[in-house]
């Protein structure tokens, strides 16, 4: 009976280890997603800044007016 008990405890330990590994992997995925979101925000901001610069060069205005 003791052998079965030990085997059962090992199974519990293995399950706990798997849970820990899964949590770590999940955290990594979340970190990577946040990095990607940050990159996208930076890209969008740069695009907006370029648009603003172009508007300034053309003479401004929502219509894109000016001599440009």
Closest CA to 13 of 5, 26, 29: 5
Structure confidence at residue 68 (pLDDT) = 44
pLDDT at 61: 52
Q: What is the pLDDT along the chain (68 residues), one digit of tens a residue?
A: 344 455 567 788 899 999 999 999 999 999 999 999 999 999 999 999 988 888 776 554 555 554 44
pLDDT for position 67: 47
pLDDT of res. 29: 97
- Residue 65's contacts (CB-CB under 8 Å, 6 or more residues apart) are 58, 59
Q: Is 63 exposed, middle or buried (0-12, 13-18, 19+ CB in 10 A)?
A: exposed
């Amino acid at each position: 009976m003791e052998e079965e008990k030990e085997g059962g405890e090992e199974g519990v330990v293995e399950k706990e280890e798997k849970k820990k590994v899964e949590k770590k992997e999940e955290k990594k995925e979340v970190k990577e997603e946040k990095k990607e979101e940050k990159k996208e925000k930076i890209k969008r901001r740069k695009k907006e800044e370029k648009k603003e610069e172009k508007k300034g060069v053309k003479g401004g205005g929502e219509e894109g007016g000016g001599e440009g």
